[in-house]
Amino acid sequence: MKLDILVFGAHPDDAELGAGGTIAKEVSLGKKVGIVDLTRGELGTRGFAEIRDTEAAKAAKILGVEVRENMEFADGFFVNDKKHQLELIKIIRKYRPEIVLCNAVDDRHIDHPKGSKLVSDACFLSGLVKIDTKLEGDENWQEAWRPKQVYHFIQWKNLKPDFVLDVSGFIDKKTEAIMAYSSQFYDPNSNEPETPISSKNFIDSVNYRARDLGRMVGVEHAEGFNVERFVAVDNLDSLI
Ligand SMILES: [Zn+2]
């Protein structure tokens, strides 16, 4: 199945927190979107891998994505090496996305910038024809494929975006998808330990960042992204 957009996150919930509004909007525009989580988030203080699998599936359904896969890399310890790059090249060639979204280029959690660079490197390498890959159980060699653009969403740190996308009208769906991860986020009845992302302030901050980015460009809500190279526009009117 060919996808228009493939979203990578180091942990289940990264895609929703960083780009949930963008995903919901692109799906509503008829785009085929998929999510690939690099790990099962098994080192998270709250919950455990099986709970997070269920939550991730629920969130994917809310957002309306075509597919969600998990690479089952080691949470906290995966590295950006040939072995991990080849696994991601296989996924990129399998879905042949035009655009890839991935983790923040700089962040509090070490897996975020690490996953960001790993995905970015894999997107480049996936375009090299002399790298031969096959999907497990398939006799055919995969064709080389390089996405047109790799955009990095913004997570814990308030990075300055290179562009913002208007997600007005999709913030409720984003919040609903995030709250599908009930083990991770604010729940006044939970007996689990407090974490940096379990406070009410954190979940509120996701919303007020979107409102603030929206305010800056004259819309209700927006999500910000960093780019690796210039974003070209067709004409000056294509800017909002
Ligand atoms: Zn994360």
CATH number at residue 164: 3.40.50.10320
pLDDT, tens digit, 9 for 90 and up, residues 187-207: 888 888 888 888 889 999 999
What is the domain range of residue 132? 5-238
pLDDT, tens digit, 9 for 90 and up, residues 28-42: 999 999 999 999 999
Query: What is the CA(166)–ligand 1 centre distance, in A?
Result: 23
The amino acid at 208: Y
Query: What is the CA(13)–ligand 1 centre distance, in A?
Result: 7
Query: What is the CA(109)–ligand 1 centre distance, in A?
Result: 7
Provide the number of structural domains found in the chain: 1
Residue 167 has pLDDT above 90, yes or no: yes
Handedness of CA 203, 30, 153, 78 (dihedral sign): positive
The amino acid at 155: Q
Instruction: Name the pTM for this structure.
Output: 0.95
Query: What is the CA(156)–ligand 1 centre distance, in A?
Result: 9
- The answer to whether 161 touches 216, Cβ cutoff 8 Å, is no
Q: So what's the pLDDT on residue 47?
A: 79
